[in-house]
Amino acid sequence: MQLNSLGFPRIGRLRELKFALEKYWRGEIEQSQLLEVSKGLRQTHWQWQADAGVNLLPVGDFAFYDQVLTLSATLGAIPERHRSDSGIDLDTLFRVGRGRAPTGNDAPAAEMTKFFNTNYHYIVPELSAHQVFDIAYEQLFDEVSEAQNLGHQAKPVILGPVSFLYLSKAVGTEFDKLSLLPQLIEAYQKVLQRFADQGVEWVQLDEPILALELESDWQAAITQAYQILASSSPKLLLASYYGSIAHHHQLVSALPVAGLHLDLVTAPEQLADFVATLDPEQILSVGVINGRNVWATELDQIASQLTSVARDLKQRLWLSPSCSLLHSPVDLEVETELAPALKLQLSFAKQKLTELNKLKVLLTEANSAEAHSIVSECEARRDARAKAANQAVIDRVDALTEQDYQRDDAFSVRQAVQRAKYRLPLLPTTTIGSFPQTPAIRGLRSRWRKGELSLEQYNEQLRQVTQDTVERQLKLDIDVLVHGEAERNDMVEYFGEQLEGVGFTQFGWVQSYGSRCVKPPLIYGDVSRPTAMTIDWAEFAQSLTEKPVKGMLTGPVTILHWSFAREDISRELIATQIGLAIRDEVVDLQNAGIGIIQIDEPAFREGLPLKKSDWQHYLDWAVNAFKLSAAGVTNATQIHTHMCYSEFNETIAAIAAMDADVITIETSRSRMELLNAFEDFNYPNEIGPGVYDIHSPNTPTVDEIVSLMQKAASKVPVEQLWINPDCGLKTRTWDEVEPALVNLVEATKILRRQLS
């Protein structure tokens, strides 16, 4: 019985890679120093996995920006606008992901979107009808050699060819992406041969699209690809995750691969079918440790489910996490401030490897003292979890009625009331919420947390920052202002710290994209809001101006998806509890005189089940959770929501059902393509399509913004349109933000003259 790792976080337990990347981008260190930090992280992470008993160490899970982008570079699939005379190098990847690198010319960044139903973002490959694939970048092969030189047995891990095509974007002349498959398979054969030449025995090819309900041509593509690729060395471990692949059982079982990985956390029921059709020599990797959550595994229960399989398969059974541990924080050992009862229930990436070892003990030495100790640990965790129940919250949810989810009147009535109250101009301008979290602000927060500043001293300085932010917006002549969120560390963590039933960590960081990391709260119990969370800051900002200042909240669905949520009750029930907590805050904001309130739901779409047949149930409860949070206000209170980096076509009816008065969305990287969904559906409410890509340091010109909004006005009636950036501005600097917003406002004035 072997332990198998599908991938490990690369950011570092203290975010070492993040800080090195950002220093390199700012010109504070040389590329050689960045490479040295990266090498040290890889060596540490490989050694941890080896120490835990993992024999085949994943290589290829490390990326400087995104592993899909690294694969695109390896295959030579890099847009021409990002290339330079020196070919494809590390800075090329940064130009693709960021639109800018320390070398080469600036160019619009490639599109970025969520990786399936996770909070990880990947850079979308751009492929043309005449695409040429060939090995053009050496990082993967260099890292295999690096691991081997350290004495490790490397198992390269890359996205499979069919998933790569599926996740890519066709550009230029319209064509069928699958027409590129034969040439892409040839390129993969070259990659596999390079690995074979390096002495690699196993390669893991990830095909997460198998968890989707694939059309027949994509199913045929899987068969075509693996009939060819599996015929040569190295051995292939075909891995899929994030959901069941039982609906493709016949297809997958017929593939001549040497090994198969199943995600049994999301779909334990698929195990029996695949075991029954496993070839006599075929390896089965069972993903039984949750790679996407932080809760310790019920190892005793898992062991009882695997006992017969372990007996039958013996050495052909590999114990694995459900997916790459990329989605998990790195190391629980550095958490020194968690309550013991909560820490007892947790397991981060490094500890999940230890859990694999403990599971192996339960399966191979069930009567040993060590096995009995492991079972006792599981029982203690279950006792601690049971003590977190809050009956008052449970009773409040049970008492909800249909009316609690509805606004007083339809949008058309509310719109008339709101327009009479606010008298905003055509194409109102606003921002999404946050303004730059400068080093000075982060320094203030650090000094306060260390006790170097009193709470009053800290708040006084933040009030000065907030006043400055409001004054800057007034000078820019923005119509609907925000307070800037200087007091907030993160849009989810900030609320998690103030909700009961929610805990938080010091170093529980996970990568979202590039160098961007988030620290999700831990939803361990029933959720409620004991006191107001944002009222003081909203009232203070509104006191500084007669223009409306939005109250800024994170919605219940996003708080759920961007937290590590408990697993003993349904996600629907957790979302409802959070919806009630946010509803209390919305009502208090309205009563405090805040007339425009934004309830952000950027994670709304990412919660979709991978199979469309399961979508409707999710959409029903996700919409209801949002409506519950917003429905306690009068017609005059204007409710906004924000979504970013999502495809809207297939969920537009649900988005309309949320009934937000205004929705702001990301559209600049897609050049307003995402608005097609709102045009085709005839979306009834108001829309703010983003015109400023805040994930790139590049400044949009007035002409670019005018052009984008002209496209928007050709799709959506101009009376329904707002103008805003794609997302919050916390990750940018004022030197980047102010010129961009100056251009945004100037473009708006031009458009008002043209379109009024």
Residue 187 amino acid letter: A
Q: Which residues contact 96 (CB under 8 A, 6 or more apart)?
A: 65, 69, 72, 78, 79, 82, 109, 110, 123
280 burial via Cβ count (<10 Å: 0-12, 13-18, 19+): exposed
Tokens representing residue 123 in the block: 């850079």
Helix axes 67-74, 90-98, angle to 10 degrees: 130
Tokens representing residue 482 in the block: 């925000």
Tokens representing residue 419 in the block: 């327009």
Tokens representing residue 316 in the block: 């052909």
User: Phi and psi dihedrals of 486, rounded to 5?
Assistant: -60, -25
Paired strand residues for 501: none
How far is residue 241 from each of residues 59, 61, 289, 325, 583, measured CA to CA in Å? 18, 15, 12, 12, 35
CB 229 within 8 A of CB 192: yes
User: Phi and psi dihedrals of 303, rounded to 5?
Assistant: -60, -40
Please tell me the distance from the alpha carbon of residue 210 to that of residue 655, in angstroms, as a whole number.
Answer: 27
Cis peptide before 234 (omega within 30 of 0): yes
How far is residue 269 from each of residues 128, 248, 304, measured CA to CA in Å? 40, 14, 14
Cα pseudo-dihedral 453, 459, 463, 469, rounded to 10? 80
Q: Which residues contact 389 (CB under 8 A, 6 or more apart)?
A: 525, 526
> What is the total residue count of the chain?
756
* Residue 385 burial (CB count, 10 A): 19
Tokens representing residue 454 in the block: 């009193």
Does the annotation count 695 as an active-site position?
A: yes
Please tell me the distance from the alpha carbon of residue 453 to that of residue 666, in angstroms, as a whole number.
Answer: 38
CB 693 within 8 A of CB 669: yes
Residue 30 amino acid letter: E
- Catalytic, out of 121, 261, 483, 695: 695
Please name which of 116, 124, 84, 118 lies closest in space to residue 100, comparing C-alpha atoms.
Answer: 84
Please tell me the distance from the alpha carbon of residue 104 to that of residue 81, in angstroms, as a whole number.
Answer: 10
Please tell me the distance from the alpha carbon of residue 284 to that of residue 315, in angstroms, as a whole number.
Answer: 10
Q: Tell me how far the alpha carbon of residue 489 is from its chain's centroid.
A: 17
User: Phi and psi dihedrals of 123, rounded to 5?
Assistant: -85, 120
Please tell me the distance from the alpha carbon of residue 17 to that of residue 511, in angstroms, as a whole number.
Answer: 10
88 burial via Cβ count (<10 Å: 0-12, 13-18, 19+): buried
- Tell how strand 126-127 and strand 169-170 pair up: parallel
Please tell me the distance from the alpha carbon of residue 551 to that of residue 639, in angstroms, as a whole number.
Answer: 10
The per-residue b/e assignment along 411-441, b for 16 or more CB within 10 angstroms, e otherwise, is beebbeebeeebebeebbbbbbbbbbbeeeb
How far is residue 443 from each of residues 62, 166, 198, 475, 487, measured CA to CA in Å? 30, 43, 48, 26, 12
Please tell me the distance from the alpha carbon of residue 133 to that of residue 459, in angstroms, as a whole number.
Answer: 56
DSSP H or E run through 237: strand 235-239
Residue 707 amino acid letter: S
- Tell how strand 126-127 and strand 638-643 pair up: unpaired
- Tell how strand 596-600 and strand 638-643 pair up: parallel
Any idea which residues carry the catalytic annotation?
695
